[in-house]
Amino acid sequence: MNERGFDYDLFVIGGGSGGVRAARVAAEHGAKVALAEEYRMGGTCVIRGCIPKKLMMYASSFRDHFEDAVGYGWTVGETRFDWSRFIAAKDAEIARLEAVYRGLLAKAGVQTFSCRATIVDPHRVRLAEGAELTAKHILVAVGGRPWMPDLPGIEHAITSDDIFHLEEQPKRMLIVGGGYVACEFAGIMNGLGTQVRQFYRGDQILRGFDDDVREHVADAMRGRGVALEVRRDIASIEKTDKGLRVVADNGETVVVDAVLMATGRKPHTGGLGLEEAGVELGPGGRVPVDQWSQTVVPSIYAVGDVTARVELTPAAIREGQAFADTVFGGRPTPVDHSVVPSGIFTQPEVGTVGPGEAEARADCEVEIYRSRFRPMLNILAGRAETMLIKLVVRASDRRVLGCHIVGHGAAELIQLAATAIGMGATKDDFDRTLPVHPTAAEELVTMRSPVAQ
Q: Taking Cα atoms as reference points, which of 149, 351, 129, 347 lies closest to residue 262?
A: 149
Diameter over CA atoms, the chain? 73
List of residues 6+ apart from 452 with CB closer than 8 A: none
Residues 445/431, Cβ–Cβ less than 8 Å: yes
Give dist(CA 261, CA 181) in Å, integer: 10
3-class SS of residue 408:
coil
Give dist(CA 146, CA 49) in Å, integer: 11
Residues 267/251, Cβ–Cβ less than 8 Å: no
3-class SS of residue 430:
helix
Q: Taking Cα atoms as reference points, which of 75, 126, 118, 102 lies closest to residue 20?
A: 102
List of residues 6+ apart from 22 with CB closer than 8 A: 10, 12, 139, 141, 303, 319, 320, 321, 323, 324
3-class SS of residue 401:
strand
Total residues belonging to the chain: 453
Q: Please, which residues bridge with residue 140 across strands?
A: 13, 302
Give dist(CA 41, CA 407) in Å, integer: 33
Q: How many CA atoms lie within 13 A of 275 on its CB side?
A: 8
Give dist(CA 39, CA 37) in Å, integer: 6
Q: Taking Cα atoms as reference points, which of 343, 357, 413, 339 lies closest to residue 212?
A: 357
**Which residue among the candidates 65, 216, 337, 437 is catalytic per the annotation?**
437
Q: How many CA atoms lie within 13 A of 436 on its CB side?
A: 4
**Distance from chain centroid for Cα 235:** 27
Q: Please, which residues bridge with residue 370 across strands?
A: 390
Tell which phi-psi region holds residue 308, choosing left (phi > 0), alpha (psi between -120 and 50) or beta: left
Q: Taking Cα atoms as reference points, which of 111, 92, 124, 98 lies closest to residue 39?
A: 98
Give dist(CA 192, CA 169) in Å, integer: 9
Give dist(CA 6, CA 22) in Å, integer: 19
Q: Is residue 268 annotated as part of the catalytic site, yes or no? A: no
- The one-character DSSP state at 38 is S
Which are the catalytic amino acids? 437
